[in-house]
Each structure stands twice: as C-alpha cells, then as structure tokens.
Structure 1
C-alpha cells in the first residue's frame, strides 16, 4: 500500500517527469518544423551530420567546377568562331588567288584582286588577335591551352589544346606578307591556301570536340550536384507531414500532463480532511 506523505509526492514527481519528457519532444518537433531539418546540428546526430557536411562541401565545390567548365567552354567557343572566320577568309583568299592566276586577266583587274587578297589577309590577323574571352586567346601565336576543373578535389582537369591560326603559324601557312603581282605568283599561293584550309579545318575539329567534351561534363556535374543535394536531403531533412502529426499528438500529451500534475499536486491537500 503506498504511503501518504506531505514531504514526498511521488505522483507529482512522476507526472512532472512525464511532462518534462513531453516538453522536450515537443521542442524537438517544433525545431524540426521551423528548420525543415531532422538533423540541424551535430548534437542531433553527430555521425550523420558529419557525413552530410562533407557532402555539402563536395556540392559547393562543384559550383567552382561548373564555373570553370562554363568559362572554358565560352573561351573555346570564341576560338571556334574565330577559326570559322579564318576558314571563311581563306576560302575567299583562294577565290581571289585563283582568279588572279588567269593569264588572260589584265593588269588592273589583277591589281584589284591583289588589293582584295591583302585586305582579307589583314582581316584574318585581326580576327585571330581579337578572339579573346576572359583574357584568354587560344588561336593566336602562343595561345593558351585550356585546363578546366573536372572534379571537386581539383586533381582532374579537361584539357583543350590551343590552335595557332595566326599567319605563318602552325596551321595557316600563309605569311603576313603573302601577296601576288603576277599570275604565276597567284597560282603558287593556291596550294599553300589549300593546305592552310585543311589545317584550319583539322584545328576546328579539335576545338569542336573539346567544346563538346566540356559541355558533356558540365551536364554530368550538374546532375551529380543535384544527386548529392538530394542525398544530403535524405540524410537531414525532416518529414514535415510526419512532424506535423506528431506535433498535434505532443500538444495533447502536454495538456494532459499539465492536468495530471495538477491532480497529483492536489493529493497532499486531501490529507487535511483527515484532521477535521
């Protein structure tokens, strides 16, 4: 038989313990609803929080990878545009040289063709020198080779080699002084121009492949980042529907706990009736 005492109210102590437990759960649930996270700090679950934090670091690092890939792809695309311009100019220069190689052409007409040829040649140099993005030019003499970041650790890169499309460079065999005055000189330039066109086409193929590789890897990195973010969410995010239902239950338990504590506290006063 339980002892009736005014010094120790066991019922009240048990009711208070239960109420404190309910209040603690209620506080946790409210925090999850407010933050949207089941694990918001290391004290919630140290190991899971550490795993999630490491994955967040990887995801944020991939932002730098994406920026590097986008910047590199833009640089390569500018180089491709310049290369296509160079190729078009070479085609026009071949047309002028071929026309000037006609021995039946009069001197004035050949001079006009030579002036057009010279203008196209100079335009080629301008196109190459102006093919710059973010301070990088891939097609001028001594152009910069692209090395874009490929992973979050920075130890892997995607490289796109520079292509020298300048006059007298590795691809365009015409020199900066190339011109003609006679039909024979014009005819001699045709072979050089043909070889230059073939070389520029090969260079454009390499640049195009590089741009495609950068674009494909950029798509992969974007999907990888989304997957990582989803994985972090699975680890730390709260199920708000579940937490909302739990909140209603805990609020009810809290009200019942307060009533139970009130009833338990009244048990001592009942003893006064024995002394009347």
Structure 2
C-alpha cells in the first residue's frame, strides 16, 4: 500500500493540534481557569477582564470606606473622652457652686478644673491621622467637611466636625474657672452647652459609622456579584479536563505510531524501486 506525503503531513498536523490542545488543558488544570489568554476566547477574555477591573474599583471603594470608618470611630472615641472630661468639670463646678468650701479647697478644685480644660484641647488637637486633625475646626463647614468616597459616580459621605478645643472658637470654656461660687455658677451653664454639643456630635458620629457600614455592605455585595460572574465564566470541570487530556495523549501516541509506520512504509518502497 502506498502512503502519500499528504497523509503523513495531515497526521503531523493532527499531532500538532493535539499538542496545542493538551497545552491549553494543562494550563486550565493548573490555574483552575478556562480563559487564561485572548487566544482562548477573545470576546470572553475581554469580558472577564472588564469584570475584574470593575471588581477592583469596588475593592478600592471598600478600602476607602474602611479607612473612613476607622477615622470616624477614632473621632467618636475621642469625643467620648471629651464628654467624660466635661462631666468631670461639671461635677467640680457644681461642687464649688454649692458653697461651703474653704479657699484652699476651692483653689485645689480650680486647679483640677484648669487641668481638665487643657485636657479638652489636647484631646481635640491630638485626634488626627496622616497629618490631618479632625477636631480643630478644619472640617466644620458644610461643603468642606470630612469626605469619604463611597461608590462610583462621585458618591461620598460628608461629616462636619466642629472645633472641640476649649478655646473661644471651640467649646468656649478657656476663660471659665471655679475660683469662686459666681464663676462656678457661670461655668456650669457653659459646660451644659458644651456637653449638649458633644452629645449631638457623638450621635452623628454613630450614625456616620452605621451609614458607612451600610455602604460598605453594598459595595461588598456588588463586588461579590462581579466575582461570581467571573467565576461562572472561568469555571472548569477538573475531571472532564483530565479525561480529555488523557484521551488526547492516547490519540497522540496512535498518531505518532501511524506517522512512524507511514514513514517506514515509504522507505521500504524507495528501497524496492531503487535498490542500492
């Protein structure tokens, strides 16, 4: 039987195609992904890449929300410390206001009061991160408050943070004292106002934490939807791939055997026609 060169070339071509298929199957099995390069499926590759880029955007927003939430939580804790300080100051002022203290006792209490007043400012000026200070009035105006990006399309959450130092532009307590009953009486009223201000601020901060957590949940949900789509497009059946790889290798072995037999047959024909 004469074997044509065309049939030999076709067998070599088939072997090459099987090898390419095996290389692709091996990559899919090792990576767990059906699409690993544009040549696998140009359209699907672009689609998966677009989904992964969009998912990464949501991851970025999640990171920014997490950072913003950490800042809000930090400020919330600081305001809580300031409220405790104010309540201690009010207790001292009420004690002096009630009268019946000796001058030395009033002096000692006034010294404690002044230390607490300084502590208020220290807490405010020390509440910051990354070179930003949050309770010194920098973010007190609407429209220029502390902003946190929360999603695509320019979505953000803004929180205004008043100046909570003891100064005139803050809680207005720097010039108060409890050196006398009259001064203590005056201080109590201003302390009550300051406590009301910080109580409201702490409530807004708590609301802010809830809003940010809700938006983080929304971003996580959208990111998960995208990731599930990518998983769907990339899903592989390891058992099927392994079986297909084994089948291809078997076919390759038969193809190699056929090529060898064909070449041997042609060589015998040449030797018969042109004996040496």
TM bin, normalised by shorter chain, reads 0.7 to 0.9
- 1:250 paired with 2:248, answer yes
Within a 5 Å distance, the mapping from 1:14-163 to structure 2 comes to: 14-143=10-139, 145-151=145-151, 153=152, 155-163=154-162
Range moving further from structure 2, 14-23 or 85-94: 14-23
Q: Which runs of 5+ in 1 are unaligned?
A: none
Tell me, yes or no, if the aligned pair for 1:33 and 1:243 is still in contact at 8 Å.
Answer: yes
Report the Cα distance in structure 1 between the residues aligned to 2:5 and 2:178, rounded to whole angstroms.
Answer: 115
SS at match of 1:208: helix
Tell me, yes or no, if the aligned pair for 2:173 and 2:190 is still in contact at 8 Å.
Answer: no
Deviation at 1:62, TM superposition (A): 3.0
Deviation at 1:113, TM superposition (A): 1.8
Report the Cα distance in structure 2 between the residues aligned to 1:189 and 1:232, rounded to whole angstroms.
Answer: 63
TM-score (structure 2 length as normaliser): 0.85
Give the 3 Å change call, closer, same or farther, for CA 272–40 of structure 1 in structure 2.
closer
Deviation at 1:97, TM superposition (A): 0.7
Tell me, yes or no, if the aligned pair for 1:171 and 1:199 is still in contact at 8 Å.
Answer: no
Tell me, yes or no, if the aligned pair for 2:168 and 2:174 is still in contact at 8 Å.
Answer: no
Aligned to 1:194: 192
Report the Cα distance in structure 1 between the residues aligned to 2:204 and 2:89, rounded to whole angstroms.
Answer: 24
Runs of 4+ in structure 1 over 6 Å off: 272-276
Deviation at 1:80, TM superposition (A): 1.1
SS at match of 1:150: strand
Q: 2:230 aligns with which of 222, 229, 232?
A: 232
Deviation at 1:128, TM superposition (A): 0.9
TM-score (structure 1 length as normaliser): 0.85
Deviation at 1:171, TM superposition (A): 6.8
SS at match of 1:79: helix
Tell me, yes or no, if the aligned pair for 1:39 and 1:237 is still in contact at 8 Å.
Answer: no
Cα RMSD after superposing both structures: 2.8
